[in-house]
A and B are shown apart, each in its own frame.
Chain A
Amino acid sequence: MRAAAGLVALSLLAGCAAREKPQDFFQLTEESPRHKAAQTRYFETSGETELLSASAAVLQDLGFQITESVREVGFLRASKERGAREYGQEIARFFTALLSTVGFFGGANTLVVLPVDLHQQINAALVARPLDEAGSRHEVRILFYRLVWRSGGQSGDQSIPPGEQRMEMIRDPKIYQQFFARLSKAVFLEAHKI
């Protein structure tokens, strides 16, 4: 019990220590080129409108709903809301509740119900721009990120209200590969890596 409290305190302190200062936000980091490479492809075409239109169609295929479109700067935003429950979290919650009622976490009256993820809103922000003066080559950069809302819970006799929100950037390069594979097929052009 004391060990658990100690661990919790340590993790909180660690969180406080790792605060990023604003300057760092406006500087490129070591991961920036890697992220850019995963999120970007270029196409040998001068049709930016066609690229944007095809991107919108691909996003529609993936179940996204377009929420913003600014063609003049080649900007598209799309989102979709889906369920976010995971088996792993449900299993963890079940066993934690079970063990807590048995008295594993100190005291037979503590009931710990872990909040689980419920919904998510997956967003995509896409920008298409020309890579040279003549506009014969265009680059498409897309970013996927999601917001997740949690359910309520219980910690002893204190109830945790539902609705806690967290945000996650999608860094898995496979998802971006799949998007560009579909986009490439939609415009009949090869998607070159930068």
Chain B
Amino acid sequence: MRGAALLALMAGALSVGCAYEWRHQIQWDSRDQIWRAEGSQVKVRAAQSRVFDGSDRLRMLEAVVHTFQDLGFQVEVLDEELGIVSGKKFVGVEKVSLGFDPYYYLYDEEDLVVFTKAFRSWGPFWHRSNLVRLTVTVRARNASQQIVRASAQFYLTPIEDPEPYQDFFRTLDQALFAARALGE
């Protein structure tokens, strides 16, 4: 009888937040994540990168920014000389079952993330939206070609499927075509 109660207590203790916690990757040392460069490197890298003819970096960056806007990303970093475009967006896939969560309104997202104790749109809470980050770099491959590399992150893992990147480049192609059609 006491053993059963004990087991029940244990099960209760372990199941506290367990289902939510299991979505996080577990490892022996969490600092390994710093240098862990993701999974099947070669396959993903091929999907993430595309070579384009032409050396007009500014035009390419314009098209990339256009693509960001099409995909609903906020552009946060835009550097013409370094060829970096980076942004993020929040995908509200997780909603509170009750419909109203008072905790949601307690956090101030205007503070710098480093020094807020709680960041409304990202953190170990149910109601926050999922964070999607995208960084695109445009570099000269040689005198007549450029290489565009996109890397994305969804929630806590890098995106390693080729399909999202193929979608991205399809949208980028459309943006480039539209820009050309306008006769710029």
Contact = CB atoms under 8 A, between A and B. Distances in A.
A–B direct contact (CB < 8 Å):
yes
Contact of B76 (A67, A90, A94, A150): A67
Interface residues of A, number: 60
A111 B117 CA distance: 27
A121 B23 CA distance: 16
A121 B82 CA distance: 24
A57 B151 CA distance: 10
A56 B83 CA distance: 9
Given A65-B135, A163-B124, A71 B81 contact: yes
B35 A65 contact: no
B34 A122 contact: yes
B34 to A, nearest CB: 5
Contact of B10 (A52, A98, A118, A152): A98
Contacts of A178: 35
Given A60-B135, A65-B134, A101-B13, A86 B158 contact: no
Residue of B34, B76, B157 most packed against chain A (CB within 10 A): B34
Given A87-B27, A170-B31, A63 B156 contact: no
Interface residues of B, number: 53
Nearest to B8: A101
A38 interface: no
Interface in B68-97: 76-77, 79, 81-84, 86, 88
A135 interface: no
Nearest to B36: A63
Contact of A60 (B23, B25, B114, B137): B137
Nearest to A149: B124
Nearest to A94: B14
Contact of A56 (B21, B28, B35, B82): B82
Interface of A: 49, 52-53, 56-57, 60-69, 71, 80-88, 90, 94, 97-98, 101-102, 111, 113, 116-123, 144, 146-154, 162-163, 165, 167, 170, 172, 175, 178-179
Given A82-B30, A83-B156, A121-B113, 19 more contacts: A52-B82, A56-B82, A57-B137, A63-B37, A65-B88, A80-B153, A80-B158, A81-B133, A81-B156, A83-B157, A84-B30, A85-B21, A87-B27, A118-B21, A151-B124, A162-B17, A163-B117, A167-B114, A179-B35
11 contacts: A60-B149, A63-B37, A63-B151, A69-B79, A83-B157, A85-B27, A86-B29, A97-B10, A111-B9, A146-B31, A167-B114
